[in-house]
Each structure stands twice: as structure tokens, then as C-alpha cells.
Chain A
Amino acid sequence: MANDERPKDEGGLAGKKIDKEEQGHETTAARLTVEREDGLLQIGLAGDWLAQTGIPGFGPVEKGFVAGGPSPVRAMEFRTGSLGRWDSGLMTFVLKCFDLCAQNKAEFRSQTLPSGVAALLRLSQAVPEEKDAMRGDAKPPFFERLGLLTIAGVREARSMLTFAGENVLAFFKLLRGKAQFRWVDTFLVMQECGPKALGIVALINFLIGLILAFIGATELRRFGASIYTADLVAIATVREMGCIMTGIIMCGRTGAAFAAQLGTMKVNQEIEAFQTFGFNPIEFLVLPRMLALIVMMPVLVLFADLISILGGFLVSTLMLHITPALYINRTVHTITVTSFLLGVFKGTYFGIVVALTGCLRGMQCGTNAAAVGLATTSAVVTGITVIIASDGIFAVICNALRI
């Protein structure tokens, strides 16, 4: 062991340890003996008491306390003549003895303990235990938990509504030209969530186009209607897949980034700094992000539609032997202005959802690093849930309106 060679000048707490080390370099196992003489409990500590090599259990001491002798134990004493090296392992043991004595109002004689142990013991007892600080482990009964959950749910819903309302107010202020915010920030966010997202949007939507075409081809071929693959890809992409996939990508990419940015600003007290200057954080931080997504989402959806149709086009022309002209013809024929606008509208709406959930979770973030992680997770989960759920609602509405 390297530390056996340590110089002797450490003094203090380690002094005893070093003395013993010189006699035997090998670690000897810790030994415990418990003897009882009337009211006196003698505890013999021998060998090396190290946490790493293991220390004897506390059982014998407890047993010695209750058994053997009609009179109760009045004092506890230690015999440490052959005690070797020791560390916190011994300390935990001694502390248990101390607590046992305190519980049974017995005298604890620390004189024979190594001076370091006695000093550490004094230190650990210097500040009395804070009774209120102990966390209650008691689990409230079922109905109480149910009630608390309901209250939390209502509060959450209210804070979401409040946040959405504050954003609407901020938006109106913007329309009247009174909002406090910087266009510079808006352009920066636009660049971040627009052009820089093109790659991932293109990749995902290209693959979606491919997949749609393959599904269409396998099923439609059986009816000799392969040509309708173009219709399927076009209508599915423009009405649903283009906007929904872009929404989900933006939620994972930009919504998470918003939550993390605002959450970190919260931790760093930057948001409070805005408030103390009389800036409205909603106008200053959320509005630019919302505007950027409102502007960028329609463009991204349009781009996604094109790429997805391109994916379907490649599969159809290269593998299903549909002529390019025919494919394009069918596609143009299928897409109506209504479905195109529906897709773009939904995309814009999803953009607002992403900005709102991302910023809401960021602003709600607690004030530590773990809270930022939670805020980010929660932003993505809330965002995707709201996107899919509202897309379902849109589908029902469109069906009812026969759009």
C-alpha cells in the first residue's frame, strides 16, 4: 500500500494511525469484544478499523446492552490498546455507541478513544439535530393525493391559459407598435429556426415521401392502380404529413432550445434582471421567438411538401415505372388550393404551439440545473402532445366541414 510509506509529520488525527502502521504493514482485520461488568459495558476495539476492509457489525454491542446483568448499563468504556489504523468506519461505529448511550441515558466515556476520534465525535455533536429539517416520508392518504393532484392540474391549466393570454396581449401591443422588443432578436431566432433547420426537415420529409410512396405502391398495385400513388403521396403530404412532421421536428429542435435558453436565463436571474428594469419578459423574450416561428413555419412546411413529393416522385418513377410527366400531372391535379392552405395554416399553428410550450416551460423553470433538463423534456412532451392532439381535432373539423 502506497500510503503506508507516508511521512510521520501528519500529526493530529493521523498520528495514531501512523504509529501502528510501522509495527505491521499488513492490514489486520478489525476485532470487536464486548464485556459487561455490572453497570459497565467495556468495548474492546482491536486491529485496523477501516471502512474499506470492513468493520464488525453493531449487533454485539446492542446485545451487550440489553442482556447479561440485572442492573441497566450505566456507562460505556472503550479499550483501544491494540487498535490499529482507523478512519470514518470506526467513527460511524463509535457514533452508534454514542447514540445508544444517549438513548439509554448511560455515560459515554470517550477518554480512552484516540484523541482524533473524540474530537470528531465532539464536532459531530456540536450542532444539535434540526428536528424540523427531517423530511416527512409519510405518504398522504389516497384522497388527499387525488385532491392535491387535481389542484396541481387546475393550477397548471390556469398558468398555461394565463401565459397564452399574456402572449395575445403582447401580440396586440406589437400590432399597435408599442411592444418592447428588438427586431434583431427576432431575426436571430428566425435564422436559427429557419435556414438552419432546412437540412433535418428535408431529410425527414424526403424519407416520409419515400415511405408513403412504397405503402401506396404495394397496396395500389394489387388493383392495378399504381398511378394513384402520386395522388396518395400528394394528398397525405400536403394535408397532413408535411406540416405535422415539420411541427414535430421544430418542437424537438427549436422548442427544446427555447425552453433550455429561457430556463438557463431563469437560473442565471437574467429574467429577473429584465423584470427589475421594467421590461416585460413576455414581450422581450417570447414575442421574438413566436414571431420567428410564425414567419418561418409556413416556409418550412412549403419546403417540406416539395421535398416529400420529390421522395414519392423518385420511388414512383424509378421503381414503379410511372413516367415523370404522368406523376407530375397527377400530383398537380390532386392538390387543391384548400388542402395546400390547410397544411400551411396547420403548420403555422404548430409553430405557435412550439413557441408557446417551449417558452412557457422555460419561464416556469426552477432555479437549478436539473430544472432546466426537466423544462426541456416537458417542453418537447407538451409540444408534441398538443400538436398531435390538435391535429386530430382539425381532422374531425375538416371532415365535418367537408374540406
Chain B
Amino acid sequence: MSRIKDHIKIEIRDLTMAFGSFVVMRDINAKIHEAEIFVIMGGSGCGKSTLLRHLIGLKSPAKGDIFYDGESFWHLSEEARQQRLRSFGVLFQSGALWSSLTLTENVSLPLGEFTSLSPAEIEDLARLKLSLVGLKGFEEFYPAEISGGMCKRAGLARAMALDPDILFFDEPSAGLDPISSRNLDQLILELRDSLGATFVVVTHELNSIFAIADNSVFLDTHTRTMRAEGDPREMLKNSTDPYVREFLTRGESTASKPAETEKC
């Protein structure tokens, strides 16, 4: 793809993730280029979200490191890491909007803390971000007063508040109806093209994966490591790994052991 620059934005090197002595995944390696949509996929409970938590600094690796623009993330000073965090936008699974604040306040809060804009400018920016995700008219609503899908979109508006370089999405289509989920995919593609941001998306929604992914990594519970990487469309065409094929086709091509895909 021509629009993808060669600059490596994120590099995961020999990452091992563990809770105490329980190893979730080991030896994960991946390179994510600038302006790429990178999908982390795998069955439920295989550690996709845990990998995301490592990428956004919520959990430190048991071994290995993550590099942003060639800079080691976990060896940065606390200050520098906070600085780096501000170039991220994160959309949590259920939006994770701050429930005591209205939607506008949710978007404005980071703007107010980390920019030197005037309150009026912040208000304008917050309204703009909310309108980008189709929430015009809901600015003064509290998160509890809107639907789950709207919360998710508001969460996206908040994630984009500081014009991040990298956006992280945790299961963006979970709990959305097929049309909303497709619209969200469309939105992700548009945002990538217009902002030039890099996206890291955790999902197991096949339609989404094929619609948006430029690159991907496939995590597997049984072997506790990555099982495949690359463009999922290529993977579907060329992969010889039966489990990967089964996953990418919902088990419909092999149909031998339908239980296997449900399992992990």
C-alpha cells in the first residue's frame, strides 16, 4: 500500500506478559508502521487486551520491551513516559467515560489540562470532536443518560481530543449492532486517512478485521505465543496453519471440529 510510510512507529520486541508466575503470552514480536491499522486478534481470553494494556503503559512487561519511534517505552523516565502517553488515544471496551462529567467535559478535561487554550476554544474543540463521531446535540448529557454505542463513540471523541499519533481500540465493535459496527470501521478508516494516525485495534470481529486491517498479529492461548502475523487477507489466502484458517473462516472451511474455535 502506497500510503503507508516506512517509518516504524511501534515495535514490540521479545515481549513476555505474565501475571505473577502465570505467563499469558511469551516472545511476541511485531513492527507497526506509521499510519497503519494493526489488528491484534485471537480467541476470547487469549491475552489480546493484556497486550493492549502493555502497549498503553497500564502493565509492565515481564520481559522484553516496547519501542515507540525507536525509543524504549519501559525504560523512559516517569516524566517522559507521561509525555509519551499524551500522544496516545485510548478507546476502552465500554468507553470508560468519566461518569461525573458531561460529554463535553469528558472531551475538554484533557484539553484543559494539557493545552494552553482558552476555555472558549476548548469548548469549540470538544464540540467539534463530538460532532465528528455523530454526537451533535448530546454535548450536555451525562454518560449514564446515553446508550452503550453512544458511550463508545463519545469515548472515541475523547480519545481523539489531543490529536494523538496513535489510537488504541479495545474491542471497538463489541456490543454494537452490525450497522453501527460497520460505521465505526468506516470512521476508523476515514480517521486514518485524514489524521494519518496509527491505529492498534484489538478485535475478534472477522468482518472488521478484513475491512480495516493492514497488518495483524494472531495470538493463541494453547501455545501461549503469537501464531501468525501479517495482512489478514494474505493470511486467509496463504496460511497453512489449520487453526488460523479456522479462525479466519469461522470454522466454516474446515468444519471438522467446530468446538475448537470456541474454546480459547
Alpha-carbon gap, A128 to B40, bound state (A): 27
B98 within 8 A of A: yes
Q: How many residue pairs bridge A and B at CB < 8 Å? A: 52
Interface size class of B (residues with CB under 8 A): 20 to 34
B44 within 8 A of A: no
A329 within 8 A of B: no
Contact B86 A277 (CB under 8 A): yes
B90 to nearest A CB, angstroms? 4
Alpha-carbon gap, A276 to B136, bound state (A): 26
A369 to nearest B CB, angstroms? 14
B 126-152 binary contact with A (CB < 8 Å = 1; else 0): 000000000000000000000000000
Contact B85 A277 (CB under 8 A): yes
Find A276's partner among B58, B258, B259 (CB 8 Å cutoff): B58
Q: A276-B85, A279-B113 are in contact. Are A127 and B262 (CB under 8 A)?
A: yes
A 170-192 binary contact with B (CB < 8 Å = 1; else 0): 00000000001000000000000
Query: Which residues of A are found within 8 Å of B83, using beta-carbon distances?
Result: 278
Alpha-carbon gap, A126 to B99, bound state (A): 43
Contact A275 B99 (CB under 8 A): no
A299 within 8 A of B: no
Query: Which residues of A are found within 8 Å of B230, using beta-carbon distances?
Result: none
A265 within 8 A of B: yes
B93 within 8 A of A: yes
B216 to nearest A CB, angstroms? 23
Query: Which residues of A are found within 8 Å of B28, using beta-carbon distances?
Result: none
Find A273's partner among B57, B92, B258 (CB 8 Å cutoff): B92
A 244-284 binary contact with B (CB < 8 Å = 1; else 0): 00000000000000000000110011101111111100000
Query: Which residues of B are found within 8 Å of A274, using beta-carbon distances?
Result: 98
Contact B57 A127 (CB under 8 A): no
Q: A126-B259, A127-B262, A278-B114 are in contact. Are A272 and B92 (CB under 8 A)?
A: yes
B176 within 8 A of A: no
Q: A268-B94, A275-B57, A278-B114 are in contact. List 9 more A-B contacts (CB 8 A).
A: A265-B99, A268-B96, A272-B92, A273-B97, A273-B98, A273-B158, A275-B85, A276-B58, A277-B113
B253 within 8 A of A: no
B199 within 8 A of A: no
Q: A180-B113, A273-B90 are in contact. Are A268 and B99 (CB under 8 A)?
A: yes
Alpha-carbon gap, A337 to B264, bound state (A): 69
B151 to nearest A CB, angstroms? 10
Alpha-carbon gap, A270 to B155, bound state (A): 11
Interface residues of B in 65-106 (CB under 8 A from A): 82-83, 85-86, 88, 90, 92-94, 96-99
Contact B98 A278 (CB under 8 A): no
B263 within 8 A of A: yes
B 172-205 binary contact with A (CB < 8 Å = 1; else 0): 0000000000000000000000000000000000
Q: Can you sample 27 A-B contacts with CB below 8 Å?
A: A127-B259, A180-B113, A264-B99, A268-B94, A268-B96, A269-B92, A269-B93, A269-B94, A269-B96, A270-B96, A270-B99, A272-B58, A272-B96, A273-B90, A273-B98, A275-B58, A275-B85, A276-B56, A276-B88, A276-B90, A277-B110, A277-B113, A277-B114, A278-B82, A278-B83, A278-B85, A279-B113
Alpha-carbon gap, A121 to B258, bound state (A): 16
Find A270's partner among B86, B98, B114 (CB 8 Å cutoff): B98
Contact B97 A270 (CB under 8 A): yes
The chain B residue sitting closest to A126, CB to CB, is: B259
